[in-house]
Amino acid sequence: MKIGVIGAGAIGATLGGHLTRGGEDVVLFDPWREHVEKMQKDGLILDGVQGEHLVQVDARHVDELASFKEKFDLIIVAMKSYDTPWAIELMKPFLTDNGYFVSPQNSINEEQIAPLVGADRLIGCVSTISAWLMEAGHARQTGSMSQALKGNVSFTVGELDGRDTERVREVQQLWNHAGDTTVTDNLWGERWSKMAINCMANPSAGMTGLTSHEVRANPESRRMMLKFGAEALRVGRSLGHTIPSPMKGFTLDDIEQAAWEGNVELEATFSGPPPAVAGYPSLYQDIMKGRKTEIDYLNGHVSRRGKELGLATPYSNAAVTVIKGVESGEFSVGIENVQRVEKIARA
């Protein structure tokens, strides 16, 4: 099988690197020329919770697609959510007749991709790993909030219609090179479970500057996070999805109750011990790099779908307002943004 990766950032490089380590035929495409040249010259460094590896990968700049002749049986889409449509259109001509895309991205990008390629040419992938592109040619896998709350599964893959197919089992075996992978017949429920985690972790770290663990351990930011999560879960449930709990040992109702009334046991589990390798969620990584964030595709998505359903999402709305304020320079990163969210939400 020939595998293409569009977007060799933290997740794309981690997946593509480990697939290459496992003996798979992989080509990574990325628009960051320095990153591509570093990988071509010195290889890709993968380090963090899975140890340190130097992998000789086949890395290409996206410009090379203009003269690229080969086709792929599987294409991994690992671009930011807002770059997904153009990336899909760019890669569609390089897919074999029976090939398919796999999206291990944040948000629920199957809703963007399926109309462009057809649901039969797409497999969903929920990533519970956390990774950080430290510098050109260097990706680090850090301890993730998802794995701390849900267990040690690294990826969950599934067909959009829930069927158990030969190709989804094929993806499972491939992805096992990068971490334990399971197959689900409930992709949309799993997506909304991860969405709740993303909506808790990403804006909270992004606005405070705290690490993934620090932001859960701080009582003030932890209470805010639970409100973000409760709103996401409420919207997902109202859309009719059966959502697995994002917190092992606690129900969705437990999370809802903890968000508004408190729950000592749940909050202690949510906080958890520090990870072996500390890291920041991708949204704060983007803020540190001065890049546009995915907030419109996380809490912003919850706000939009909530509005369609007639559900109030004041904390999700406030998260979007504050993160956009940080992006524009109106607000500074700091713990004071927790009170800013509270003030906006209550207004």
CATH number at residue 278: 1.10.1040.10
> Do 104 and 136 reside in the same domain of the chain?
yes
Give me the number of domains the chain comprises: 2
Q: Are residues 118 and 170 in the same domain?
A: yes
Considering only CA atoms, which of 116, 125, 113 is closest in space to residue 171?
125
Say whether both 317 and 337 belong to one domain.
Answer: yes
pLDDT of residue 148: 64
> What average pLDDT is seen over the chain?
96
Domain's final residue, options 185, 207, 232: 185
In tens, the pLDDT along 204-254 reads 999 999 999 999 999 999 999 999 999 999 999 999 999 999 998 999 999
- 118 and 228 share one domain: no
Close Cβ partners of 102 (under 8 Å, ≥ 6 residues apart): 74, 75, 76, 77, 122, 123, 124, 125, 157, 171
Q: What is the reported pLDDT for 152?
A: 79
Q: Tell me the average pLDDT across 16-24.
A: 98
The CATH number given to whatever domain includes residue 102 is: 3.40.50.720
Q: Which of 124, 151, 185 is the last residue of a domain?
A: 185
Q: What DSSP designation does 293 have? A: P
pLDDT band for position 279 (50/70/90)? confident
Cα separation, 88 vs 102, whole angstroms: 11
Boundary residue ending a domain (122, 155, 185): 185
- Tell whether 204 and 261 lie within a shared domain: yes
Give 178's DSSP letter.
Answer: T
Which is higher by pLDDT, 145 or 30? 30
pLDDT at 276: 83
Give 302-335 pLDDT, tens digit per residue. 999 999 999 999 999 999 999 999 999 999 999 9
- Co-location of 212 and 314 in the same domain: yes
- The residue segments making up the domain with residue 292 are 190-346
Are 34 and 133 contained in the same domain?
yes
CA dihedral angle for residue 60, residue 63, residue 65, residue 66, rounded to 10 degrees: -150
HSE, side-chain direction, 13 A CA sphere, residue 37: 4
- What average pLDDT does this structure show over 34-43? 98
Q: Are residues 308 and 162 in the same domain?
A: no
* Same domain membership, residue 98 and residue 51: yes
pLDDT tens, residue by residue, 164-212? 999 999 999 999 999 999 999 999 999 999 999 999 999 999 999 999 9
Based on the fold, state whether residues 226 and 167 are members of the same structural domain: no
Whether 309 and 234 map to the same domain: the answer is yes
pLDDT tens string 110-148: 999 999 999 999 999 999 999 999 999 999 998 766 666
Altogether, the residues listed in the chain come to a count of 347
> What integer pLDDT is reported at residue 147 of this predicted model?
67
Q: pLDDT tens digits for 72-110?
A: 999 999 999 999 999 999 999 999 999 999 999 999 999
> Higher-confidence residue: 275 or 334?
334
Number of other residues whose CB lies within 10 A of the CB of residue 54? 13
Task: Give me the percent of the chain exceeding a pLDDT of 90.
Answer: 93
**Beta strands at 95-103 and 58-61: parallel, antiparallel or unpaired:** unpaired
How far the first Cα of the chain sits from its last, in Å, is 55
Q: Are residues 145 and 235 in the same domain?
A: no
Q: What is the structure's pLDDT at 333?
A: 98
Q: How far apart are CA 250 and CA 266, in angstroms?
A: 7
